[in-house]
């Protein structure tokens, strides 16, 4: 029952995260990537601080703060900043396919940081999904967006570390508590940087950019993690992490629907392939 609940929570988290890159793409059209990164973390951090205060959550043990700093580095600062920078050089539709590499990165750090030991068949299907995504990226105009692609690859690595570390902590602290404490730890620096890099004028900021900022601040930075960390803790980091293979499919649909970006037949074919991989990996993880 707990494993099924883990997959359900993980699926909701993936749905929420699927809108992150399209929302970030909309926001960086008018906002500076650094401001977007620190502002979203500052907004989410103040909300998290309110939640911790309202529910009078006990402070983590001293030994937990190192792991919380890793979570903050991976998912509060590293991934948002790197993806915001990458999206200056590529469309969100192109960047979304890199998310197919996240399950492999998350599973690898699940082994290194949480001691999980998935079966060989699991790694086979996880690697196949990652190869499908990587192969698609290489068929594109790689030289024209090499900088963006490199930024996205580094973002995937630090995000996988943050996911695995947060999931390990969630087994003891709870999913929403982990992301809330990580946000609060980063809050002083994020607030200071937000003031420092605040745009000189807000008149040129379009409606889409504001909507993107609100989405990534509330949903991508806080609400999605409540479901995601709980799902990883309940169902296993490596196993439930494979649900991220579905994220490109949902993300591509959102990019086409809300941003009007072209979604090629090849993108749809790759997304379909990774869906088959996540189904096979789920069975292999039992």
What whole-number distance in Å separates Cα of residue 261 and Cα of residue 269? 17
pLDDT at 15 over 60: yes
Using an 8 Å Cβ cutoff, are 109 and 165 in contact?
Answer: yes
Q: Is 260 left (phi over 0), alpha (psi -120 to 50) or beta?
A: left
> How far separated are the first and last CA of the chain, in Å rounded?
13
Q: Give the mean pLDDT of 11-34.
A: 91
Q: CB–CB of 218/43 below 8 Å? A: yes
- This prediction has a pTM of 0.86
How much is the pLDDT for 244?
85
Q: Do residues 47 and 222 touch, judged by C-beta distance below 8 A?
A: yes
Average pLDDT over residues 224-236: 93
User: Whole-angstrom Cα distance, residue 180 to residue 196?
Assistant: 24
DSSP state of 75: I
Structure tokens at 12: 């909701």
- Percent of all residues in the chain with a pLDDT value above 90, rounded to a whole number: 48
Residues 281 and 129: beta-carbon distance below 8 Å: yes
**Distance in angstroms (rounded) separating the CA atoms of residues 155 and 83:** 6
How far is C-alpha 274 from the geometric centre of its chain's CA atoms? Answer: 17
| Residue 81 near residue 216 (C-beta atoms within 8 A) | no
Between these two residues, 45 and 241, which has the higher pLDDT value?
A: 45
**Whether residue 218 has pLDDT greater than 70:** yes
- Does residue 274 register a pLDDT over 70? yes
Residue 278 is predicted with a pLDDT of 77
Residues 255-268 have pLDDT tens digits of 777 767 666 787 77
pLDDT confidence bin for 282, thresholds 50/70/90: confident
Rounded average pLDDT over 182-204 = 95
At residue 137, the pLDDT reads 61
Sign of CA dihedral 233, 237, 242, 246: positive
* Residue 247 CB contacts under 8 Å (≥ 6 apart), including other chains: 14, 17, 18, 96, 99, 100, 102
How many domains, in total, are found in the chain?
1
Cα 1 → chain centroid: 26
Domain span including residue 174:
2-284
Residues 86-141 have pLDDT tens digits of 888 887 767 767 777 888 889 889 888 877 888 888 888 888 887 887 677 666 65
How many Cα atoms within 13 Å fall on the side-chain side of residue 177?
A: 18
pLDDT score of 286: 60
The reported pLDDT for the residue numbered 231 is 93
């Amino acid at each position: 029952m707990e494993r099924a609940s883990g997959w359900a929570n993980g699926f909701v988290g993936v749905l929420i995260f699927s809108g992150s890159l399209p929302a970030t793409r909309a926001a960086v059209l008018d906002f500076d990537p650094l401001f977007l990164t620190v502002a979203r973390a500052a907004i989410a951090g103040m909300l998290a601080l309110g939640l911790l205060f309202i529910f009078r959550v006990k402070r983590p043990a001293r030994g937990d703060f190192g792991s919380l700093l890793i979570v903050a580095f991976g998912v509060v600062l590293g991934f948002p900043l790197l993806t915001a920078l990458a999206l200056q050089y590529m469309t969100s539709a192109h960047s979304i396919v890199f998310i197919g590499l996240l399950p492999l990165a998350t599973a690898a750090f699940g082994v290194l940081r949480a001691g999980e030991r998935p079966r060989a068949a699991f790694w086979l299907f996880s690697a196949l999904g990652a190869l499908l995504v990587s192969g698609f990226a290489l068929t594109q105009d790689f030289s024209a967006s090499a900088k963006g692609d490199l930024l996205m690859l580094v973002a995937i690595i630090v995000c996988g570390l943050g996911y695995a570390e947060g999931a390990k902590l969630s087994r003891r602290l709870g999913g929403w508590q982990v992301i809330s404490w990580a946000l609060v730890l980063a809050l002083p620096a994020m607030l200071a940087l937000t003031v420092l890099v605040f745009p000189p004028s807000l008149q040129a900021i379009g409606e889409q950019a504001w909507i993107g900022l609100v989405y990534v601040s509330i949903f991508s930075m806080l609400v999605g993690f409540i479901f995601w960390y709980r799902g990883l803790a309940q169902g296993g980091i490596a196993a439930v992490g494979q649900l991220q293979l579905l994220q490109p499919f949902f993300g591509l649909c959102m990019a086409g629907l809300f941003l009007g970006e072209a979604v090629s037949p090849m993108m749809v074919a790759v997304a379909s392939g990774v869906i088959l991989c996540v189904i096979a990996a789920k069975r292999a993880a039992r």
